[in-house]
Structure 1
Amino acid sequence: MAAPARWLEPVTFAAVWDRSVERDPGALFLRYAPPGGTFAEWSYGDFDRGVDAVAARLRTAGVRPGRAVHMALANGPAFVAVWLAAARLGAVMVPSDPFGRAPELAGHISRTNPAVGLCAADRAEEYRLALAKATESEPALATDAIAVDEHAPDLDGLTGEVGRSAAAPRRADSGVRDTAAVMFTSGTTGRPKGVAVTQANYAFCGKVMAERAGFDADSRLLVVLPLFHGNAQYYSFAAAVWCGAAVVLAPRFSASGFCAEAAAGEATAASLFAAPLRMILARGAAGPKLRLRHCWYAQNVSDEQYGQLAELFGCRPRQLWGMTETLPAPLTNPAADPVPSSMGQQTPGCLVDIQDAAGRSVPDGEVGELVVGGERGVTLFAGYLDDPATTEASFRGGWLLTGDRARRDAADHYYFDGRRGEVLKVAGENVSAVAVEAVLAAHPGVLEASVVGRPDPIRDEVPVGFVVARDPARPPSPAELLAWCEARLGKAAVPRQLTLLDELPRTSVGKIRKFLLSARASAGS
């Protein structure tokens, strides 16, 4: 196996932004339509002047190189301007779910000690409660709170008179390995980990994803996923900044409005998860047919859904796989011949392998753990916030252990086989929850499905399924679904129980909260 991927001439994300501004200051950078409003537009040069003003406001609030800037802001120009201003000042952006509750926000604040925190004016009370809770655990905490209109079509309220009148602060002399952000994982199974993302990480991510997608200065990337999450930052914004492309930013995802937003914004590309794609087919397929040149998506859709999406979008969507820690997606499908069921092939510039528990590469067709090679702080994340033990435990021989199981075929396509904890042990037989989910999802009456294990006194554990019907008015019966599974699965893999749900429980970025389903399954045992 080759040595881990390296980037021989890394640059900072702040420098990448400056380069795109200098290359064509008049080029369109951002289009944004606030809820119920009309599009506002900024060129690279216009937005850069706004970034200078925001940087001046942040510096007045005590932001210095290495200090954190906490954000609980929804999609809007304010989020983007604060992100770029923090990078310019050499500060550390810490984005949280803008609709998170006080305990979650307090945890992020207390662990990063931000000089300033920004929140939406209409959620300021919850944010101040979070600051109070954070101060209880960290009495020395002194965070200046700024409440703004997160959907304002200008930056005036964010910059304030201070930002507009002050001279632009000097750009920080940031190093490529300086921390640019701390991205907290969803924490669905434990305390959220803080992923340290460097200046070089953002730049490398933008480079790899722009080149793999074929973006250029004429591209327009529609962003509907939340900006506090890696997908929107890594695969869309960082990629756009790298090549000087434009971003069409939506305040939030709307299944029924997606196609209309894409058409109105003249979007050429998008990035989504499987769950929003299914929602678009269920609620928004009557919208205008699009002419996208490119669409990334994460997680599987059925063959039928894939065909419908290709027709609706005007391009063949390309599945990818990545993590907050990997920055760019190490696995991406090629443009020429994407395989819908595959996570993709090794992305140029990245390095992946499938290994056994001893760290040996496994042969094609054999299931093992997906691992990612790279240089920490440049092509991979720098580490977990204040947790060197967990950081070291996440690597083996220079490879990042992802916890995802996969297999590779002879054409270098990788196929997901579940998380380490998603292989059920049924009477001594290994059963892949992902494989059972795929069979359930293939039923014509099923929109999506999730499978978890339930403790069993005889078999140790058994699979149980949770299903969302394609047509809630005419759902398939559990008996019909069980018969479908019995015809396609071995005896051990057939679910012992099936439950119809209106929707699967998800995090704010669409990941299924399987621990909630597991708790429900166990309660019903």
Structure 2
Amino acid sequence: MLTPHENATIGGVLREAAAAFGGRPLLVAPPNAARAYDPEGRTITYAQAAQAVQGLMDRYRAAGYGQGHRIALLLENRLEHMLHKLAMNALGICCVPVNPDYRPRELAYLIDHAHVDLAVVLPSRWIGWQAGAREAAWQPPAVTFEQFDAALPAALTPATSWTPEAGTPASILYTSGTTGRPKGCVLSHRYELAAGAYYATRGGLVHFRPEGERIYNPLPLFHVNASILSFYAALLTGSCQIQTDRFQPTRWWQEVRDTRATIVHYLGVIVQMLCVQPPSPGDRDHCVRFGMGAGVEPQLHAAFEERFGFPLLELWGMTENVRILVDSMPPRQVGTRAFGRATPGIEVRVADDAGENVPDGTPGEMLIRHSAETPRKDFFSGYLDDEAATEAAWRGGWFHTGDVVTRDATGMLHFVERRKNIIRRSGENIAAAEVEAWLLTHPDVELAAVMAVPDEVREEEVLACIVLKPHAHHAEDREALLRSLFTHCEAGLAYFKAPGWVWFTDRIPTTGTQKIQKHSIFGPGVDPRSLPGMHDLRAWKKRQRQQA
């Protein structure tokens, strides 16, 4: 395993890895006859990756891109995403991955907030990107990745340096904030390499063998899990990342077998969907040694392991710090929402609202830091252009995760719930405040309160409680009103953020300062989904088709 030093950069580590592991596979696309690209699959070795990255570096540099520039990548889960990211990082360019489900207003926000200097876009996403660019105040150049060599636009302001340092921004990943629009988490070279090294050295059942592992990760490359956590663990250990285009339960096992995967990454929704597949004699016909993920339902945990024959290791991480905690040391606490203990490099406190430690067994917010001497070491660099939010998250010298946990007498941490006003749906973090703000722009909505409700497949779903304006209060055609509200959400929000449930009410309780009291809308122990007048819109939530 390569051990990056304190001043290591991504480009330097790639060169070391290519020299050490040259002929080994680094990136793999599994075969998929239904896929328009690489239907027979594709493998890129370390040496091939280094050569391709050098070619991309030469092209970027010749066009004037380098230290200080930010480039948006809208390449979905293509292997080219990682090649472009590596090339950009080696030149000091910061990568801004783009969620392909973003609507034009969300794209416009990203373009303006990150002030990207260029966008590299799939041809199938070009029309959508242009629609977002038209709504943005800032107008950066853009190119399809197929035209990259022939038509790369020159940098508007050419770079003068191409020598990044460990603290140079490598990525800006957008994560849902609690007060509205997403925040841009700035991640340095040091952060990304430290995340991979931390994963690869967790010990116990998380053991990377000298010959390398084959990590099957179906999660999107615009998230921290696939593009940073598993990828850099692979790069540092001579392993490979198997990158499918998207999770499909009917394709999962075939791809895992075809690619001889030894590690799989999962979310709770993936486990649920795999468990409802009909039992098969091939359930244990695979090479998987362990799964890494979060959110498995406690009642499915042991049953999954028994049926499929490998442990699901529950972990905790977030974009601001993805040096993971994981329950990998036997005996594990299967089915208890346990996710590991504090370790050197991640100190943990469990605190009440006043910041005071709570006794073991008592729920409290999880606060973390690297150490007393260097609390922010290997964490994110901060929220882009939002020092106030960064310092608020770090108040008292500890990072406030917003997750409520308990700690038992052995030091094991157990997840309870999210303290932040965040909805977790199929691995996507959705800010209730962002959905509320958009709903309030509908001409019929007077007040909106958005919250999470349980979902048997997606973990959580979005529920919108809506007070209508007087002119719409007695609308007879509720179907037309619901369609109008949903179409409005589709126009301004990624499909997964739209309400899956809608409930109309005459009143939403507020405090004397007009803050909504969500805990008072429904009584204790009430499942809102079962209430009269609740409208189930989940079947309406679908990804938009790609446009050529």
* Smaller-chain TM-score bracket: 0.7 to 0.9
Corresponding residue for 2:141?
144
Q: Could you tell me the TM-score, scaled by structure 1's length?
A: 0.75
Q: Measure, in 2, the Cα distance between the counterparts of 1:226 and 1:203.
A: 19
Give the structure 1 partner of residue 396 of structure 2: 397
Specify the code of the residue in structure 2 equivalent to 1:306.
Answer: H
Q: Deviations over 1:19-53 (max 9, x none)?
A: 21111211111111364211211110011100111
Alpha-carbon shift at residue 285 of structure 1 (Å): 5.5
The 5-angstrom pairing of residues 212-291 of structure 1 reads 212=202, 213-216=206-209, 217-283=211-277, 286=280, 288-289=283-284, 290-291=286-287
**Following TM superposition, by how much is the alpha carbon of 1:418 offset from its aligned partner in structure 2, in angstroms?**
1.5
* Per-residue deviation, residues 363-409 of structure 1 (Å, max 9, x unmatched): 21122110110357741101000011111111122210111111100
Query: Could you tell me how far apart the structure 2 residues matched to 1:10 and 1:112 are?
Result: 26
Structural mapping, 1:504-519, within 5 Å: none
Asked if 1:495 corresponds to 2:527, the answer is yes
1:84-132 per-residue CA deviation (whole Å, 9 max, x = no partner) reads 0111111100001023222211211112222220111012111122222
Match of 1:21 among 18, 36, 55: 18
- Counterpart of 1:362 in 2: which secondary structure? coil
- 3-state SS of 1:328 partner: strand
Q: 1:412-443: per-residue Cα shift (whole Å, max 9, x none)?
A: 111122222579xxxxxxxxx99x96xx97xx
Corresponding position of 2:83: 81
Deviation at 1:463, TM superposition (A): 7.7
Assess, with a 3 A threshold, how the Cα gap between structure 1 residues 408 and 376 changes in structure 2: closer, same or farther. Answer: closer
> Cα offset for 1:309?
2.2
- Matched residues in 2 for 1:393 and 1:74: separation? 33
Aligned residue number for residue 314 of structure 1: 309
Q: 2:318 maps to what in 1? A: 323
Question: SS of the residue aligned with 2:118?
Answer: strand
Change (3 A) 1:100 1:448: closer
Q: Which residue of 1 aligns with 2:434?
A: none
Which runs of 5 or more structure 2 residues have no equivalent in the other structure? Answer: 34-38, 154-158, 423-450, 466-506, 511-516, 544-548
Equivalent residue runs for 1:341-356 within 5 Å: 341=336, 342-356=338-352
Q: Are 1:366 and 2:356 an aligned pair?
A: no
Deviations 1:192-239 (A, max 9, x none): 000000000001001001112322442000011101011112331121
Cα shift at 1:344: 2.2
Any idea what SS the aligned residue of 1:207 has? helix
**Distance across 1 between alignment mates of 2:245 and 2:403:** 32
Q: 2:189 aligns with which of 199, 205, 217?
A: 199
Residues 6 and 190 in structure 2, CA contact (< 8 A), matched pair in contact too: no
Decide whether the 8 Å contact of 1:321 with 1:343 is kept in 2: yes
Matches within 5 A, 1:372-383: 372-374=368-370, 375=374, 378-383=377-382
Change (3 A) 1:239 1:8: closer
Quote the Cα distance in structure 2 between the aligned partners of 1:450 and 1:99. 17
Instruction: State the alpha-carbon separation in 1 of the partners of residues 332 and 228 from structure 2.
Output: 21
1:185 to 148, 170, 175: 175
User: Normalising to structure 2: TM-score of the pair?
Assistant: 0.72
Conserved? CA contact 2:213–2:240, under 8 Å: yes
What residue number does 2:28 align with? 31
Of 196, 199, 202, which aligns to 1:209? 199
Work out the CA distance in 1 between the residues paired with 2:279 and 2:459: 17
Shift of 1:11: 2.4
Judged with a 3 Å threshold, the aligned counterparts in structure 2 of structure 1 residues 386 and 451 are, in CA distance, closer, same or farther, namely: closer
Question: Is 1:338 aligned with 2:332?
Answer: yes
Please give the residue correspondences for 1:89-128 in structure 2 after superposition, counting only pairs within 5 Å: 89-128=91-130
Q: How many residues align?
A: 441
Q: Which runs of 5+ in 1 are unaligned?
A: 1-6, 150-156, 164-168, 424-432, 465-490, 509-525
Q: Which amino acid aligns with 2:263?
A: A
Q: What is the CA–CA distance in structure 1 between the aligned matches of 2:408 and 2:539, rounded to whole Å?
A: 31
- The 3-state SS of whatever aligns with 1:62 is coil
Contact 1:334 1:345 in 2 (8 A): no
Report if the CA contact (8 A) 1:73-1:97 is conserved: no
Alignment pair present for 1:408 and 2:407: yes
Match of 1:215, as an amino acid? Answer: F
For 1:9 and 1:339, the matched residues in 2 are separated by 35
| Amino acid of the structure 2 residue aligned with 1:405 | V
Query: d(CA) in 2 for partners of 1:233 and 1:47?
Result: 15
Larger mean Cα displacement after TM superposition, 212-221 or 61-70: 212-221
Structure 1 CA distance for aligned equivalents of residues 92 and 183 of structure 2: 22
CA distance in 1, matches of 2:460, 2:43: 40
- Higher mean Cα deviation, 499-508 or 10-19? 499-508
1:248-293, Cα deviation, whole Å (9 max, x unpaired):
1111111111111111000000111101221222247646433311
2:353 is matched with which residue: 357, 360, 368?
357
Separation in 2 of the partners of 1:75 and 1:448? 23
After superposition, what is the alpha-carbon deviation per residue over 1:272-326, rounded to whole angstroms, capped at 9, x for unaligned? Answer: 11012212222476464333112111124132x2133213442110111111101
- Judged with a 3 Å threshold, the aligned counterparts in structure 2 of structure 1 residues 242 and 463 are, in CA distance, closer, same or farther, namely farther
Contact 2:66 2:92 in 1 (8 A): yes
CA shift, 1:66, in A, is: 1.4
Residues 338-359 of structure 1 show CA distances to partners (whole Å, capped at 9, x for unaligned) of 3232122224532222122333
Distance 1:284 1:449, change over 3 A: farther
Could you tell me how far apart the structure 2 residues matched to 1:462 and 1:507 are?
31
Contact between 1:64 and 1:91, CA under 8 Å: does it hold in 2? yes
Q: Is the 8 A contact 1:248 1:265 kept in 2?
A: yes
